[in-house]
């Protein structure tokens, strides 16, 4: 390799000497030095572009052989992130750094330091680009593997590394351009460390949150979430270092600070979609003053309702037997009695049990909650077997439409705001 490089230097030197003499003859008096510098820089750029193009074609051609993403996910990740282009840039720049003195050898010695610094600055920029593309390659790899939790962790890490990388490579670039020691600049940063920590507060919190979310696997891109603090409900579209984007169901989108994923209550509703069941948990408020014991006339009237006919017959006989030997059995309050709210609760239970759109493997329940100033809540608690939003609302509405009207048959008064 060294022999080939020496031969290349000799070839370039042999070709550039006639060019040097030709420029010296045609250049205006006193400007030959400027023309020599311009031509030398243009030659170096042209050589760089040619070498870079050749190596890009060779390297990318080799990587294209391994196109199967399932068999070669790592190779495809590297190719798609264009790290191969950075490798070609690096090789071309290293060759330029080795041969630049062979162009117009022995002349323009004052430009050597300038060219060396330009080459070194180019190396810094190439390594910075390789770092950025390397992070992209990791992300592409996990995208191919569909490991979304690791993608979130990598997003948090990559954003932090990019910020630190920009700072670090900027320091190195300044050192290269002006030829100063890096320790001089780094040492002077000690006095402003507290300021840097304050400036990057959100970045640090976002980085920690990203790692926590990825390791705990509580959230991922695509999850359906509800955030009561911001009154947001939708699907997570992006989780970045500083902000998280959520596509709301009203076709708008919201952004929240990423660190809120760690400090704010978030309901992950994705399990509803994955289990094909969505919960109904809704109440009807009844006026307690409308509650009453059912007399024989009421019971006979309600026996015409098929769902509770057998229940009323059995319960009536059972309760009459209990009161046969009871003192003052003519008083309705003595002993157990059927009430309109209790019979309606039984009716509602039987009604929802027959609805085919409800999940029969999950709980199906009608229950009383604690009394409130607005009345007594009678809650329907069940799960639908369809999570599609419009269909879910239709099922829920059909249930409550029926029960709200049916309650009138039991002489129950539904609470409402009176104007």
208-262 pLDDT, tens digit each: 666 666 666 677 777 888 888 888 888 888 877 677 888 887 778 888 887 777 7
- Digit-coded pLDDT (tens) for 59-109: 888 877 777 767 777 777 777 778 888 888 888 888 877 776 666 555 556
47 vs 352: CA distance, rounded Å: 80
* Domain termination residue (choose one: 117, 151, 180): 180
pLDDT bracket for residue 378 (50, 70, 90): very high
144 domain residue, yes or no: yes
Number of domains in the chain: 3
19 vs 17: CA distance, rounded Å: 5
- Domain CATH for 228: 2.30.30
Q: Residue 414 has which token pair?
A: 């539904």
pLDDT bracket for residue 346 (50, 70, 90): very high
261 and 282 share a domain? no
pLDDT at 418: 47
232 and 122 share a domain? no
Phi and psi at residue 261, in whole multiples of 5°?
-65, -20
Residue 402 has pLDDT above 90, yes or no: yes
311 and 380 share a domain? yes
Q: Please list, in sequence order, all residues whose beta carbon lies within 8 angstroms of the beta carbon of residue 23, skipping any fewer than 6 positions away.
A: 32, 35, 36, 39
46 domain residue, yes or no: yes
Between the alpha carbon of residue 359 and those of residues 68, 190, 273, the distances in Å are 43, 63, 14
Q: Helix 32-64 to helix 73-80 angle, to the nearest 10 degrees?
A: 150
Between the alpha carbon of residue 349 and those of residues 262, 336, 367, the distances in Å are 40, 21, 9
6 domain residue, yes or no: no
* Domain termination residue (choose one: 128, 158, 180): 180
Which of 3 and 95 is assigned the larger pLDDT? Answer: 95
236 vs 249: CA distance, rounded Å: 11
127 and 157 share a domain? yes
- Digit-coded pLDDT (tens) for 289-299: 999 998 888 89
3-state secondary structure of 282: strand
Measure CA 12 to chain center.
Answer: 54
340 and 375 share a domain? yes
pLDDT at 321: 84
87 domain residue, yes or no: yes
Domain of residue 286 covers 278-324+334-410
Measure CA 294 to chain center.
Answer: 57
Q: Residue 163 has which token pair?
A: 């910020």
123 and 158 share a domain? yes
176 and 36 share a domain? yes
36 and 166 share a domain? yes
296 domain residue, yes or no: yes
214 domain residue, yes or no: no
Residue 128 has pLDDT above 70, yes or no: yes
**pTM exceeds 0.75 for this model:** no
256 and 303 share a domain? no
Secondary element (H or E) of residue 69: none
293 and 338 share a domain? yes
26 domain residue, yes or no: yes
Residue 51 has pLDDT above 60, yes or no: yes
pLDDT bracket for residue 343 (50, 70, 90): very high
Residue 159 has pLDDT above 80, yes or no: no
**Which parts of 281-337 fold into alpha helices (H)?**
296-302, 306-323
133 domain residue, yes or no: yes
3-state secondary structure 326-379: CCCCCCCCCCCCCEHHHHHHHHHHHHHHCCCCECCCCCCEEEECCCECCEEEEE
- Digit-coded pLDDT (tens) for 381-392: 998 887 777 888
Measure CA 394 to chain center.
Answer: 30
Secondary element (H or E) of residue 56: helix 32-64
- Digit-coded pLDDT (tens) for 172-192: 777 777 666 655 555 555 555
172 and 250 share a domain? no
pLDDT bracket for residue 396 (50, 70, 90): very high
* Domain termination residue (choose one: 123, 146, 180): 180
Residue 194 has pLDDT above 60, yes or no: no
297 and 382 share a domain? yes
């Amino acid at each position: 390799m060294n022999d080939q490089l020496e031969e290349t230097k000799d070839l370039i030197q042999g070709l550039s000497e006639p060019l040097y003499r030709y420029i010296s003859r045609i250049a205006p008096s006193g400007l030959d030095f400027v023309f020599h510098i311009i031509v030398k820089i243009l030659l170096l750029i042209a050589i760089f572009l040619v070498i870079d193009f050749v190596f890009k074609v060779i390297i990318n051609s080799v990587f294209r052989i391994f196109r199967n993403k399932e068999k070669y996910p790592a190779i495809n990740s590297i190719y798609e992130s264009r790290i191969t282009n950075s490798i070609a840039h690096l090789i071309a720049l290293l060759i330029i750094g080795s041969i630049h003195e062979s162009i117009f050898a022995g002349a323009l010695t004052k430009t050597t330091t300038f060219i060396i610094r330009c080459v070194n600055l180019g190396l810094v920029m190439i390594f910075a680009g390789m770092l950025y593309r390397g992070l992209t390659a990791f992300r592409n790899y996990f995208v191919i593997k569909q490991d979304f939790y690791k993608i979130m962790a990598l997003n948090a890490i990559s954003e932090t590394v990019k910020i630190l990388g920009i700072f670090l490579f900027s320091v190195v670039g300044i050192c290269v351009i002006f030829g100063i020691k890096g320790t001089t600049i780094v040492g002077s940063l000690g006095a402003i460390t507290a300021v840097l920590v304050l400036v990057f507060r959100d970045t640090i919190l976002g980085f920690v949150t990203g790692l926590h979310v990825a390791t705990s696997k509580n959230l991922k891109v695509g999850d359906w979430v509800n955030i009561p603090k911001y009154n947001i409900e939708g699907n997570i579209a992006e989780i970045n270092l500083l902000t998280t984007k959520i596509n709301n169901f009203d076709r708008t989108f919201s952004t929240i600070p990423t660190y809120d994923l760690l400090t704010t209550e978030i309901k992950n509703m994705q399990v509803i979609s994955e289990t094909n069941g969505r919960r109904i948990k809704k109440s009807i408020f009844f006026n307690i003053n409308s509650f009453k014991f059912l007399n024989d006339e009421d019971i006979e009237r309600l026996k015409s309702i098929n769902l509770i006919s057998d229940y009323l017959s059995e319960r009536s006989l059972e309760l009459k037997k209990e009161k046969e030997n009871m003192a003052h059995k003519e008083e309705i309050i003595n002993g157990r009695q059927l009430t309109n709210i209790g019979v309606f609760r039984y009716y509602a239970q039987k009604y929802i049990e027959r609805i085919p759109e409800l999940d029969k493997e999950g709980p199906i329940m009608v229950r009383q909650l604690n009394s409130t100033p607005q009345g007594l809540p009678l809650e329907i608690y069940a799960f639908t077997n369809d999570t599609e939003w419009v269909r879910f609302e239709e099922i829920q509405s059909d249930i409550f439409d029926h029960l709200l009207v049916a309650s009138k048959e039991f002489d129950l008064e539904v609470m409402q705001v009176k104007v």
